[in-house]
Each structure stands twice: as C-alpha cells, then as structure tokens.
Amino acid sequence: MIDKNKTKEQLIEELAELRKERDRAQQYLDIAEVMLVALNNKGEITLINKKGAAILGYEERELIGQNWFDTCLPTELRESVRDVYQQLMAGEIEPVEFYENSVLTKSGEERIITWHNTVLTDEAGHIISTLSSGQDITKRKKQEAELQKYRDHLEELVDSRTKELALTQDATILCLASLAETRDNETGRHILRTQHYLLALAKHLKKTDKYKGRLDDETIIRWYKSAPLHDVGKVGVPDYILLKPSHLTESEFNTMKDHARLGKEAIQSVTQMLGDNSFLNSAAEIAYTHHEKWDGTGYPRQLKGEDIPLSGRLMAVADVYDALVCKRCYKAPFSHEYAKDYLLQGKGGHFDPDIIDAFLVVEEMFQEIAAKYPD
C-alpha cells in the first residue's frame, strides 16, 4: 500500500532502492555456483538464476512462467514427478530434502542434477512454493559409470586369469603326477580315484560334530586338488624296485619308503621358488605323511594319532583301498568286501577310527568312483 503522506520524490527514491535490492539479490543468484529454481503451487517457474538457465540452455526470460515438468523434464519422468509435486502441494507427503533426477535441456540433451529442496509456506503453514538448489553432476556420473565399467572389466580379466591359472595349476599337477605313475605299476586312473575317495571322506567328516568347525570347503578342495601329487616322490625310486613283480626285500622296501621324503622335498623346492603357497604346502604334507599309521608304526617319522595331519590320514585310507581293489603286477584285484574288511581290521591301528567310520557311510561312493575310473 502506498503511503499518501510521502512525497513523489520520496516514493521514487524508495522505488529506486527496491530496484537496487532486487538487482543485488539477482546478482547473488547469478554468481551462485549452483542452479536455483523456484516453482509455484502449479509447478510454474517463478525464478531461475543464470546458472540454472545456462545448464538448461535457455535465457532466464524464456523459462519464467513455463511449467517446469513440461519444459525441463524428460518425457518419461514428467507425470511421475508432477504427481509427487502435486501430493506435496496438497500436504499428502513430506518434502524430500535431497534427491537427484535428470532434466531436459533446450537442445534435448539430458543432464543429471542433484537437488537440495526447501518449501515455502503461507501463514497457515500450507506449502505454496518450492525453492531448489541444484548441482549438475552429469560429468561426475559419467566418470563414475566409466570407472565402474573399467572396474567390471578388470574384475572380468582377473576372474578369467584366475580361472586360467587354476586350470593351468590343475593340469600341471595331473601332468606331474602322471609322470610319476608312468614309472609305477599303477595307472593314471589311480590318481583320479584316490583324490575322489579323499574328497568323499573329507566331505562326510565335515558334517560330523568333531570336524564341523575344523574343516571348511576351501581346505577340502585344496586337499582334493593336491592329492594327485601324493606319490610324486616315486620318480626318485629305481625302476628295478618300483616295477618288481614280487615282494621287496627289506633293503628295497627301505628305498621305496624314501619316496615320501623325496616327494615332500620336490614339492618344497617349488615352494622355495614361488614363495609360501597353501596349495603346495598341502601337497607336500600329503606326500610326506600318507604312509604314517595311527598307532605310530608307519613311515617316515612314525607319527601317531592326531599328530599325523588329517590330510595324510585321509590319503592313507584312499591309497590303501585303491591298492587293494585294483590289479597290480604283483597281485590280482581284491573285492570291495575284502578291502572293507582290511580297513576295518586296521581301524585304530593303521587307520584313524573316525575316517574308517566315515568310510562305512560313503562306501557306496567308493564303489561308484572305482567303477567310474577303471584301469
């Protein structure tokens, strides 16, 4: 309302001052590093600064009075965002302080804006308009997407390389083990059978109360994959002993027993070159201890009971079972029942009682394995 008591000069002076205030306010808006947008309750643009207009590709005057949703949002967002805004104006939902969405520029390009929103209310507390400050994060989002794409690509490369290395490792193991077997009277199928016997026993033990917290899948798979190297030390045993079709003399047997030490040392020599490796450590452990006996009468160190590593105790059962049911140059194959009786007689003597109990549970799997990988 105009004060009639003021002179014309005073009114002109006050108007000029108001214009200065408006211009100063506009300057503050224009130098802001963020876009500022005010909408009335119909969604019409009542204020936008130069930064906001520049991001959208317009002059400020082109946008004032335009409907924000129809002018500045991509087609697929217009109705959903308009509905939310109308609910906000009606007081049906609480205002959202921070969010981000795409906006549509005059040229049709989409930009991604992150918003900080404030609502303006009348004296009754009803929302009458919104004031939002926005920052253009399109470049950052693009960089993040490219970075994520690069990370995904690296993960794929690493995964591919890891699988390739694992396959190479498995192939190398089987190759080395097969070389040892070619000098023995056993076949390469012995390697496959014994590692599957070990796997069946270990998986069952993992389910028992005693070993539930002591065995995990990673360890079992490591033993399974390293099991084929259990007799790699036989490459150091002379052929006349390794291939002898009759019983060995005491001296010859002592030489044969040395294959456990030779196997461990051969594997450890690789470990020294490559550094500490859990897989090779397991392979060396199995090679060195699979001829130990539960009662301490085995070789090479006469270890007893649980002083013998579990991997070695498992391989002892797998190796002996396979030696019994398969043909050798010095004997005919025995039946499964014969091998089973032999293992039961060795329970607590040659073999860990827990592993023999596990064998009785999975013995059908042993027969299936033997049938699947015949000589």
Is 185 within 8 Å of 243 (Cβ atoms)? Answer: yes
The verdict on whether omega for the bond into residue 300 sits within 30 degrees of 0, i.e. cis, is yes
Non-local CB neighbours of 111 within 8 Å, separated by 6+ positions: 55, 56, 102, 103, 105, 136, 138
φ, ψ (nearest 5 deg) of residue 219: -65, -45
Sheet bearing 110-121, strands edge to edge: 45-48, 35-40, 127-136, 110-121, 98-104
Please measure the distance between the N-terminal and C-terminal CA atoms of the chain and give it in whole angstroms. Answer: 109
pLDDT tens by residue, 140-181: 999 999 999 999 988 888 888 777 777 666 666 666 666 666
**Which amino acid, one-letter code, is at 312?**
G
DSSP type of residue 374: -
User: How does pLDDT run along the chain (375 residues), one tens digit per residue?
Assistant: 445 555 667 666 666 665 665 555 555 555 557 889 999 999 999 999 988 999 999 999 999 999 999 999 999 999 999 999 999 998 898 888 888 999 999 999 999 999 998 888 888 888 899 999 899 999 999 999 999 999 998 888 888 877 777 766 666 666 666 666 655 555 568 888 999 999 999 999 999 999 998 999 999 999 998 898 898 888 888 888 888 888 889 999 999 999 999 989 988 887 777 667 778 889 999 999 999 999 999 999 999 999 999 999 999 999 999 999 998 767 789 999 999 999 999 999 999 999 999 999 999 999 999 999 998
Please report the pLDDT score of residue 1 as a whole number: 44
pLDDT tens by residue, 205-216: 999 999 998 999
Q: Which two tokens stand for residue 53?
A: 């207009």
Please report the pLDDT score of residue 277 as a whole number: 72
Report all structural domains of the chain as residue ranges with CATH numbers, in order of start: 32-136 (3.30.450.20), 149-372 (1.10.3210.10)
Closest alpha carbon to 71 in 41, 108, 98, 113: 108
Partners of 130 in the β-ladder: 39, 119
Q: CA 264, 269, 273, 275 torsion: positive or negative?
A: positive
CA distances from 307 to 1, 202, 284 (A): 101, 18, 16
Please report the pLDDT score of residue 203 as a whole number: 97
Classify residue 359 by burial, with Cβ atoms within 10 Å: 0-12, 13-18, 19+: buried
